[in-house]
Amino acid sequence: EVQLVESGGGLVQPGRSMKLSCAASGFTFSNYGMAWVRQAPTKGLEWVATISYDGSSTYYRDSVKGRFTISRDNAKSTLYLQMNSLRSEDTATYYCTREQLPLDYWGQGVMVTVSS
Amino acid sequence: DIVMTQTPSSQAVSAGEKVTMSCKSSQSLLYSENKKNYLAWYQQKPGQSPKLLISWASTRESGVPDRFIGSGSGTDFTLTISSVQAEDLAVYYCEQYYDTPLTFGSGTKLEIK
């Protein structure tokens, strides 16, 4: 059974950093691209970033370019999202997803609140 | 960026009724080389993460009831639920994966009368 379990969220002040993790199991992690998608409270879904199966290619939405970094450790079957210079508009539930054209499995999500 | 427009924003139906919801893209999602439409539908029930229902505009994922039917091509797509059940209460999102950034529609909220 495919499982994606996010961790690392919480309350953070504007301008500070936070790193999210996603532990994957139930499939060969190194064979799949992965992505982060977020959802602000009571809002819709917004793609954040994608990383290729081997980590050689990464893609970001414009609003997080230069602030967020997606990475992976295939030996640990873990996906990461390093978030720097956080803003109030980054407040959202962040979902880890497997990207198999389209996003075929989603984690339960982790809440990130950016507030002073 | 490809803009995805979903209508209606909400819809209330009785159990057993048929419901249709629309998703339109600002450019064609049909890739000429493989004749596939890069369009997916997701279901998000209250308090849950999204679940993939349909990929390639009309291919149901394993385990998805056959009352969920995806159709359309190019820029116009439809999700039909042939006979709504109480457990179908959810927000339904379409998503294009033709190009980066991946983009989603704003969702159709399905309410059961």
Question: In angstroms, how far is CA A98 from the centroid of its own chain?
Answer: 11
Q: In this predicted model, what pLDDT tens digit does every residue of A13-51 receive, in sequence order?
A: 999 999 999 999 999 999 999 999 999 999 999 999 999
Which distant-in-sequence residues (6+ apart) come within 8 Å of B33 by Cβ?
A: none
pLDDT at A100: 83
Average pLDDT over residues A48-58: 97
Is the per-residue pLDDT at B7 higher than 90? yes
CB atoms near residue A2 (< 10 Å) = 13
Size of interface A-B (CB pairs under 8 A): 55
Average pLDDT of chain B, as a whole number:
97
Question: Alpha carbon of A101 to those of A88, A108, B87: distances in Å?
Answer: 31, 20, 27
Alpha carbons B75 and B90: distance in angstroms, whole number: 24
Is the per-residue pLDDT at B61 higher than 90? yes
- Nearest CA distance, A4 vs chain B (angstrom): 11
- Beta strands across the sheet bearing B4-7: B4-7, B19-25, B76-81, B68-73
pLDDT at A60: 97
Q: For testing the chain B interface, which of A37, A38, A45, A57 should be mutated: the one with the most B CBs within 10 Å?
A: A45
Is the per-residue pLDDT at B103 higher than 90? yes
Residue B69 φ then ψ, to 5°: -130, 125
- Please name the residues between 63 and 92 in chain B that touch chain A, using a CB distance below 8 Å: none
Asked if residues A81 and A94 have their Cβ atoms less than 8 Å apart, the reply is: yes
Provide the 8-state DSSP code for A18: E
Average pLDDT over residues A45-66: 97
Which distant-in-sequence residues (6+ apart) come within 8 Å of B96 by Cβ?
A: B2, B4, B25, B29, B38, B39, B40, B102, B103
Average pLDDT over residues B54-77: 97
A63 residue type, one letter: S
pLDDT band at B82 (very low <50, low <70, confident <90, very high): very high
Alpha carbons B1 and B99: distance in angstroms, whole number: 8
Is the per-residue pLDDT at B100 higher than 90? yes
pLDDT at A101: 82
Q: In this predicted model, what pLDDT tens digit does every residue of B8-48 receive, in sequence order?
A: 999 999 999 999 999 999 999 999 999 999 999 999 999 99
pLDDT at A7: 97
Is A58 an interface residue toward B (CB < 8 Å)?
A: no
Mark out the alpha helices in A1-103 (DSSP H runs).
Answer: none
Average pLDDT over residues A70-83: 98
Is A25 an interface residue toward B (CB < 8 Å)?
A: no
Is the per-residue pLDDT at B98 higher than 90? yes
Asked if residues A79 and A34 have their Cβ atoms less than 8 Å apart, the reply is: yes
Is the per-residue pLDDT at A58 higher than 90? yes
pLDDT at B4: 98
Asked if residues A42 and A32 have their Cβ atoms less than 8 Å apart, the reply is: no
Average pLDDT over residues B75-95: 97
For B11-53, give the DSSP string.
Answer: EEE-TT--EEEEEEESS--EETTTTEE-EEEEEE-TTS--EEE
CA angle (A37 as vertex; B30, B20 as ends), nearest 5: 50
